[in-house]
Amino acid sequence: MPAVIESKNLTKRYGAHVALDRANFSIEAGKIVGLIGPNGAGKTSALRAILGLTSYEGELSVLGREPFRERTALMAEACFIADVAVLPSWLRVDQAIDFVAGVHPKFRRDRAVGFLARTQIAGKRKMRELSKGMKTQVHLALTMAIDAKLLVLDEPTLGLDILARRAFYDGLVNDYMDETRTILITTHQVEEVENLLTDIIFIDKGRIVLDSSLEDVAVKFAAVTVGPDRIEAARAEKPFYERHILGKSVLYFENPDPAKLAAFGELHTPSVADLFVAKLSGGVA
Amino acid sequence: MKTYSWLIRREFWEFRATWLIPAVVGAVLIFAALFGRVDLSAFDEHLAQMNMGTIYLVGMAVLFYLVMSVYASWYLMDCLYNDRRDRSILFWKSLPISDTQTVLSKLLMALAIIPLVFMLAADVTSLLMAFVISVRARTFSAVLWHPQTWFQVQVLWLYVIVTTAVWYLPIAGWLMLVSAWAKRAVLLWTLLPPFALYLIEKFTQTHVVHDVLGRRLAGYAAVAYHGNEQWINDNMSEAATGPVSVWRFINPAGFISSLDMWIGLAVGVAMIAGTIQLRMRRSEI
């Protein structure tokens, strides 16, 4: 099965600034992928390129199409929520549904209406009268009612309270996701999406730092909590990152030899958030 | 075609002034007819009576047309800027609608739909005013109620809408170009380049831009209508004694054979093409 997104040497320049620097990655169908990076790392540029919102250099194929040239055709099969609260203030909820139903061949009106029926949002309300959380629910109802092969979410829960965020991700996994779909998410709240992701891509300074499934992460990376007595011996195994907590040190290893490392202390698979910090900081924190 | 009909509906949702403004203008005029001074005795002074009816309808048309042109210009400056400013462009671009469709729907709105709405409003207002005046004067004068005159003015309206759409296409194209490009102060950016060119010409004592712009802004009537003194002397002598059709004045042959019109059309088309390219590359501000 060909990849849903395939990028070779994807580069985006804004004048002298290089936002994406020969980025290579590939995303397969049925995955929930987290694109994770610090501010200014090139996340948004990558998403813009994938969604056909910007021109770029290098090769990029999304659902077998060239996004910038074929955005219209691509949007019949892919959908996105770029940030929250971008629905225009003058639009009414029922107008939004009518419009999307009118222009989108894969929109299932009954699903959008059903989704909204579970909320407190009346159809005659204008977006400007809705709270941020309600607006997000409307946008989600519209987007989730589209039978899309690829869903791209850019900071989808920004500005939502914890209840709404939890409800959003539960809905995503339970009601929306199936093996024919692919979801690409960027977020700062790594902990929140960690247990629903199947794959992670780390991006820093426009380059891909890590592109791996979470299963492989468990094999490729290990962290060991080491007491002061064994720290020098552990350091000799060349950890790529080290961090100190409560008098102990946590050492991070790439391509570890579990048998050897277990001798230094308690061995565990690093969380995505920890791995992110470890990969992007480098050296001792 | 279905997409275009939804895009036009969308414009009516966003720009409610499209029907509010003509409704207010009409209401003010009808209010004036209800409470102003009514004196039909002025109707038989210089021109034949029937021509007063024509002048009444044409005057109404001119008034609505002038208000319409100000509103349509404002619309053109806003139409590709608003959604970039409130970031809703990210929602519109997530739908399978091409940038060409978006730009053309807004051009169609400005050059055809808005003028037609104003034409309808002018007709309704003319009818209601004529009715109010007739009731108050206690006479349904044939001057105001002449089917032939009404029909002639409808055809004149359509001629005006078609020919001004073509003649002012470069102006409309320029407004859209700035609307799609500017990050702020659309009006300023619209006026600044021609004004700068005008100043440069003052300095260099040339007048190419001055002439070209002047001919475009003020030259429409001379191209689309008869009206020099000789022609009036030859054709209008019977106006003092009997009805004259407004169709006499229109000059389609002169319009079609005008080189200025064709050059303007080409420049306008180029500007619209440029607008579409800009729309593809620009997203939120």
Domain ranges of chain A: 5-213, 216-284
Distance, in Å, from the CA atom of B162 to the CA atom of B99, rounded to the nearest integer, reads: 24
Verify whether the Cβ–Cβ distance B88 to A88 is below 8 Å.
yes
- Per-residue pLDDT, averaged over B239-245, amounts to 74
Give φ, ψ of A266 to 5 degrees.
Answer: -75, 125
Distance, in Å, from the CA atom of A116 to the CA atom of A104, rounded to the nearest integer, reads: 19
Looking at chain B, which residue has its C-alpha nearest residue A68? B280
Interface check B93 vs A, CB under 8 A: yes
Sheet harboring A182-186: ordered strands across? Answer: A78-82, A150-154, A182-186, A32-36, A199-204, A207-213
Confidence of residue B243 (pLDDT cuts 50, 70, 90): confident
DSSP classification of residue A269: P
Nearest to B88 among A72, A73, A86 (CB): A86
How many CB atoms within 10 Å of residue B10?
23
Amino acid at A18: V
Q: What is residue B45's predicted lDDT score, i.e. its pLDDT? A: 54
> In the predicted model, is pLDDT for residue B100 greater than 90?
yes
Mutation site, B80, B95, B98, B99, interface A, largest A CB count within 10 A:
B95
pTM of the model: 0.90
Q: What is residue A98's predicted lDDT score, i.e. its pLDDT? A: 96
Question: How far apart are the CA of B270 and the nearest CA of chain A, in angstroms?
Answer: 20
Q: What is residue B266's predicted lDDT score, i.e. its pLDDT? A: 98
- Per-residue pLDDT, averaged over B87-110, amounts to 95
Which positions of chain A have pLDDT values less than 70? 1, 84-85, 282-285
Burial class (CB within 10 angstroms; exposed 0-12, middle 13-18, buried 19+) of A283: exposed
Average pLDDT over all residues of chain B? 90
Confidence of residue B44 (pLDDT cuts 50, 70, 90): low
Verify whether the Cβ–Cβ distance B95 to A104 is below 8 Å.
yes
**B103 versus A238: which is more confidently predicted?**
B103
**B36 versus B27: which is more confidently predicted?**
B27
Distance, in Å, from the CA atom of B226 to the CA atom of B218, rounded to the nearest integer, reads: 15
Strands (E), B104-164: none
Q: What is residue A86's predicted lDDT score, i.e. its pLDDT? A: 85
Which residues of A are less than 8 Å from B90 in CB distance?
Answer: 53, 82-83, 86
Of A230-239, B93-102, B160-169, B236-245, least confident by mean pLDDT is B236-245
- Per-residue pLDDT, averaged over B137-150, amounts to 82
pLDDT tens across B162-213, in order? 999 999 999 999 999 999 999 999 999 999 999 999 899 989 988 888 889 9
Q: What is residue A90's predicted lDDT score, i.e. its pLDDT? A: 96
**Are the beta carbons of A136 and A105 closer than 8 angstroms?**
no
Q: Can you tell me which residue has the tokens 């939502």?
A: A160
ipTM: 0.90
Burial class (CB within 10 angstroms; exposed 0-12, middle 13-18, buried 19+) of A189: middle
Q: What is residue A285's predicted lDDT score, i.e. its pLDDT? A: 45
Which residues of B are less than 8 Å from A53 in CB distance?
Answer: 90, 93, 283
Q: What is residue B272's predicted lDDT score, i.e. its pLDDT? A: 98
Mutation site, B7, B9, B94, B276, interface A, largest A CB count within 10 A:
B94
Interface check A86 vs B, CB under 8 A: yes
- Per-residue pLDDT, averaged over B25-39, amounts to 89
Q: What is residue B156's predicted lDDT score, i.e. its pLDDT? A: 95
The CATH number given to A5-213 is: 3.40.50.300
Residue A82 structure tokens = 């770029």
Looking at chain A, which residue has its C-alpha nearest residue B280? A53
Distance, in Å, from the CA atom of B53 to the CA atom of B119, rounded to the nearest integer, reads: 17
Q: What is residue B229's predicted lDDT score, i.e. its pLDDT? A: 75
Verify whether the Cβ–Cβ distance A75 to B96 is below 8 Å.
yes
Of A1-15, B92-106, B138-152, least confident by mean pLDDT is B138-152
Q: Which residues, in sequence order, are bridge partners of residue A27? A: A5
Interface check B234 vs A, CB under 8 A: no
